[in-house]
Amino acid sequence: MLISILVLVFVVLGTSVYKRHVPVQNVPCNVTGFLEPHTTILDIRDYNNKANDIKRESLNIPYAYLRRFYSEITPGKIHVIASNRLELNLGIRFLTRKGFTITSYEISECPCKQEGGLEHGIR
C-alpha cells in the first residue's frame, strides 16, 4: 500500500517537473530575427513585462490567459516570445496540444544565442 502511494506521488511530481523544465524538442530559437511570411507573433509575457522591442504587430496573450483566449490565435505558423524558459516550455506545450504549429521562439530575458537555445537541450 505504501509503495503504491509513493509510486503515484513520484509519477505526479515527475510529470510536473517534466512539463516545466524539460525543453521542448524541434522548436528552434530565432537568433536572426527573420520570420517567414504569414507568421503570427505570440507574446506570452505578462502585460507589465511586455517591452517595445517588437517591430511587427504581435498578439499579446499572457500565459496565464492562454487557456481562456487561445481561440483568438489565427491558425498557422506561430513565433512565441516568452520572458523565461519555464513560461516558454509551458506555453509551447499548451499550444502544441491545442494543434498550433510553433516554428520558433524568443526569450526576452536571456537571448538563446548566449546559452545555446532550447533546441540543443542546454539549460
Q: Structural domain tally of the chain?
A: 1
Domain that holds residue 100: 2-120
Provide the pLDDT for residue 117: 45
pLDDT by residue (tens digit) across 45-99? Answer: 998 876 655 556 889 999 999 999 999 999 999 999 999 999 999 999 999 999 9
CATH of the domain at 103: 3.40.250.10
pLDDT by residue (tens digit) across 1-27? Answer: 899 999 999 999 999 888 888 888 889
**45 CB-near residues (< 8 Å, 6+ apart):** 51, 60, 62, 81, 82, 83, 87, 108
Provide the pLDDT for residue 111: 63
Contact yes or no for 101/24 (Cβ under 8 A): no
Distance CA 26, CA 92 (A): 11
